[in-house]
Structure 1
Amino acid sequence: MRKLETRTIVVASHNAGKITEIADLIAPFGFAAKSAAELAFDEPDETGTTFEENAAIKALASAKASGLPALSDDSGLMIDALNGAPGVYTANWAERDDGTRDFAMAMEKVQKALQEQGAEKPQERTARFVSVLCLAWPDGHTEFFRGEVEGTIAWPPRGTAGFGYDPIFQPEGHKRTFGEMTAHEKHGWKPGETQALSHRARAFKQFVETCLEG
């Protein structure tokens, strides 16, 4: 495992919500970070069929363009009754014909698909959020960190916090959706604590333990 010896990195994303979450997670470590969006990097085509492949595509593109280590996230919602869909195509389910993303529409699409499967009870609506972080260096070296959180699909959507599908994802052991939680409640982790709630926070905890500590 390669340690990260610089505190200057690129967040390899154009997703405003994701950039904010990653910025919140790295802030306690004193990172100077800029996003691929701020640096006006082109968005690479995500042609992979796994979260790991797509995370690597994004991180390597930003690392090579900037000459700095780059941290990317590829994440998605996997619903058991839909055979793991939308999975790596989670963001695609929100795309409109004009290229914009409408997650209210995407959540309706999820609900319709579950209704078509007759999945009405919570035990029939099990799902998980998956996040894979990739840290890439300009020389092509990569490290991967995967976090998952189990839960169920709630309906109707609840809460306006977070982004994406957060208002319909109720993590296991909780009565509120991610959309009803504050950023700290959702991440559930900061330096010095051992618990991590969200998929992204769990992946980030592995990143910290592997590349920053020791």
Structure 2
Amino acid sequence: MKLVLASNNAKKLVELQALFAPLGIELVTQGRLGIPEAEEPFETFAENALAKARHAARASGLPALADDSGLSVDALGGAPGVRSARYALDAGGEKSDAANNERLLRELTSVADRRARFVCALVAVRSADDPEPLIAMGRWAGEILAQPSGAGGFGYDPLMQIAPLGGSVASLSAEVKNRHSHRALAAAQLMVQFREVWHLG
């Protein structure tokens, strides 16, 4: 089954394609179909993911899958949250992973409570007007490091320490990350729904 992925992030495509391959799902990015990115006006991951999925399905005429994910830091009231990818841009900086990480570290200067979690909302729709979207949430808890560590991953991965796994997310292999991440947790829930509701697999 072919689904449009409502993202142009190549790394997300690789992660999600690997996670859903057992169901025979083929993902194609909306960019390959000439579909522009959707607006993300909402304050929650689930609402933004649903908006993106409906937009991609409407523009393509195909079922669609959307991911909205980011970092939620307890001491910052849940920020960067849905603004994770634009965190530095919102403060007058550039839109880049490095700039986002620098702003986060500045915000946490002298903050003792560094608990945080990666959050992922995955939403799948059969059509733009699907009254029964499949919605799954994954949360991956850890703590923010004082400085970046590890060379892999993307986004805030170098700053997120997962103590039980012995290092930052950026230091984990792709295989380990795909087993434990917020996206993997949400994908596991969504796979159950794909089987039970869409009868895939």
TM-score, normalisation: structure 1 = 0.85
Q: Which runs of 5+ in 1 are unaligned?
A: 1-6, 189-196
What residue number does 2:192 align with? 209
Correspondence for 1:136 among 125, 140, 145: 125
Check if 1:119 corresponds to 2:111: yes
Decide whether the 8 Å contact of 1:60 with 1:137 is kept in 2: no
**2-structure distance, mates of 1:94, 1:144:** 29
What secondary structure is seen at the aligned counterpart in 2 of 1:45?
coil
The number of residues matched between the two structures is 195
**2-structure distance, mates of 1:135, 1:32:** 13
Decide whether the 8 Å contact of 1:73 with 1:134 is kept in 2: yes
**1-structure distance, mates of 2:164, 2:80:** 23
**Which one has a larger percent helix, Structure 1 or Structure 2?**
2
TM-score, normalisation: structure 2 = 0.90
- Within 5 Å, which residues of 2 pair with 1:60-71? 60-71=54-65
Decide whether the 8 Å contact of 1:64 with 1:137 is kept in 2: no
Decide whether the 8 Å contact of 1:96 with 1:102 is kept in 2: no
**CA drift at 1:16:** 2.3
What secondary structure is seen at the aligned counterpart in 2 of 1:104?
helix
**2-structure distance, mates of 1:88, 1:27:** 27
What residue number does 2:30 align with? 36
Select between 102-111 and 86-95 the one with higher mean Cα deviation: 86-95
Select between 78-87 and 14-23 the one with higher mean Cα deviation: 14-23
Check if 1:148 corresponds to 2:131: no
Q: Which runs of 5+ in 2 are unaligned?
A: none
**2-structure distance, mates of 1:99, 1:18:** 24
Opposite residue 45 of structure 2, the aligned amino acid is F
Decide whether the 8 Å contact of 2:169 with 2:177 is kept in 1: yes
Decide whether the 8 Å contact of 2:20 with 2:191 is kept in 1: no
Correspondence for 1:182 among 160, 173, 180: 173
**2-structure distance, mates of 1:94, 1:180:** 23
**CA drift at 1:34:** 0.6
What secondary structure is seen at the aligned counterpart in 2 of 1:157?
coil
- Cα RMSD after superposing both structures: 2.0
Q: Percent identity?
A: 38
What residue number does 1:192 align with? none
Give CA deviations for 1:15-63 in whole Å, capped at 9, x if unaligned. 2222221122122332222111211201111111111110011100111
Q: 1:112 to 1:132 in 2, by over 3 A?
A: same
